[in-house]
Structures are given as structure tokens and as C-alpha cells.
Amino acid sequence: MTDADGLGGPPPRRFDRVSACLLAALLALLAAAAYYPFDWSPPRAVDNDVRRTAAGTLRFGEDNVARTPGTPAWVADARDGAPVRIDLRVRPAFPQRYAPVSILMVARDFWHTDIGIDQDGRNLVVSVGRPGATENGDPPFVVDGAFGPGRWTAVRVVLERAAIVVAVDGTTRVREPLPAGYQRSWDGGRLALGDEVHGGHGWQGEIARAEVRTPNRTVDYVRPGALDVPAESFYLPDHVAPFPPISRLEWAILALHLLSFVPVGFLVARLRRPPFAILPVTALAAGFAALLALGKFGFDGRHTAVADVACQVTGALAGAWLAHRRLWRSLRRRRFTS
């Protein structure tokens, strides 16, 4: 019996090249999945593309900042059951760089929308927060063929006590019931024209009218002073998802994050024979997870969450434990057969 048998003393330490190659391939695969489609868009200072024309309209480009400083006062009226009428007169650019893209929204963040009026190609898409819908007001109400190149379009959205009515150029295209008291589910948030409330994908075109009317007040957000329109801003859209996840799909993604890091922990532990201790393996995997999460801030449309990192670290811990369990089983078999 010798030390090399792992019975007469500590076994020699050696680097496992196979585990290293498998780990490198796995980390590359995880990074590709995290950042795909690799649309580089890091936080940065940007010039505001919102411009007022000589005719008094607002023209929007790719980087648009035109928002209220807080929740509009009329949202409180709506929560109390008051009807809301939104009148837009817009001339979209064709084609848009992204689809769908927001023309007007009232939202707390990327994941919580009370009202959204979007363009998806030629189609008008209206989302309303209500019981039975997602936090973003899906499924939306869609009007096919509402927009066309080079022409102005009048859009009216009326949110009644228990119904929604959408008209395009004076013709009613949608009339659907809504749950009674649906406005009480609204979170509140800022109103933004031509983009998401914290930045994202800018809508391109002109807006001549963006009027919101309730029985108590009327505001046209195209008028000077109605919105904050700074000359420049710091581009940092929402990247950190809330907890708990807002859909079953996101819960499933959390489980996938946990499972994906089980082999990470296993392979890190087996980079050396005998395996690295569980605690250092978990700490190293936590570093990998944190780097993956931090990298998402540099790519458009990629989101992370503290829960993602926690699940990945838990998965790595399980993988390291499995590596050690396999080692001790191997040692026990050797003792019994020697």
C-alpha cells in the first residue's frame, strides 16, 4: 500500500486538463446564452434626440428622454374609477429599428406597466394593467394596419369603468370589456413619450398631440413644460429584474440557472485531484455568476436578478458536494477491494 493509493497518506495533487477544457466550454456556452444576440449597448451619456419642430410637434429619434418627473395626477383619478381618454396624433418613421416600440406609456419600470401604447410595424398595440393580465398588461389589444409610412394617424384610447375603446382616425377598432375596478391594480409610475420610462428602444417619428383627459383635468404632453426633456441623459435602462419573478416562465428560468451551475461547481472542484474544498469552489462559482450578471449591463435587452446569482451559487454548491461525494465513494471502494 502506498501514498499514491490514497490510503497510506494524502494523494498527490495534480491538475485535471479534461475538467479544465469542459469547464471552459461550459462557461463559454453560459456566457453566449447570457448575452445573445450580443447587441452591445453599455451605460453611457447620450444626447437627447427629442426635438421641438417649428410647427410645435415633438420629433423623436433613437435616444429619447421625454418623461414626467413622477406619477401624473390623473392616475389618481383613474384609480378612483374615473374614465381616461388618451388622444394621440402621430407620424411614425418607417421602418422602426425595433418592434414593438413604445409611443406612450405609464409604467414603474420595464416589468410593471399600467398603460402602454406601442407600434409594432404597421400595427397599434395597447396594453392595460388589469386583473388576469401580466404585470405589463399582456395580452394586449391589437389594431392591425393602424399606421402607414409618411402619414399622420389619430389614435384615441378610452378607458372606461369596465371597458376599453380604441379608435383609429375616427373609426372604432376595438371595444372590449375590462374587469370592474381594474384601475385599482395600477402601480403608478412616470409617463414617457417615445421610449420606455428608464430608457430602452426609442420610437422614431413625430407626435403632434398627446392629450390625456379625465373629468377633473386635461394635459397635453406635447405642450412645452409638460415633460422633462433634458439636453442629455445617462443611458441606463432596466437590467435588474424584480423578485419574486412575475411569470411562470421566469420561475422556470431560475430553475435552469440553478441546474446550469451544478456542472460548473462539479468541474471547478475537479480541476485538481483531490478536489478543491467545497467553500473555495462555491466562492469561485459566485465570482463567475457575478461577472455574468454584471456583463448583462453592457448588452441591450439582457436582464439579470439577485435571485439568478443566488440560484447559480446554490447549483455550484451542489456540484462541488457531488464531486466530493464521488471522491469518498471511490476511496471507500478502494478500501473494500484492497
Strands 44-47 and 232-235: antiparallel
Give one word for 20, left, alpha or beta, with left for phi > 0 and alpha for psi -120 to 50: alpha
pLDDT, mean of residues 217-223: 97
Domain range list for the chain: 3-39+241-337, 45-235
Of 12 and 184, the one with more pLDDT:
184
| Dihedral sign (CA 310, 316, 320, 322) | positive
Local confidence band at 330 (pLDDT 50, 70, 90 cut-offs) = low
Of 229 and 8, the one with more pLDDT:
229
Specify the CATH number of the domain 45-235.
2.60.120.200
Helix (H) or strand (E) holding 137: none
Residue 335: is its pLDDT beyond 70?
A: no
Instruction: Note the pLDDT of residue 334.
Output: 54
CA atoms of 290 and 86, how far apart (whole Å): 43
CA atoms of 186 and 78, how far apart (whole Å): 9
Local confidence band at 11 (pLDDT 50, 70, 90 cut-offs) = low
Instruction: Note the pLDDT of residue 15.
Output: 80
Local confidence band at 58 (pLDDT 50, 70, 90 cut-offs) = very high
Calculate what percentage of the chain has a pLDDT beyond 70: 92
CB 185 within 8 A of CB 173: no
pTM of the predicted model as reported, rounded to 2 decimal places: 0.84
pLDDT, mean of residues 218-241: 94
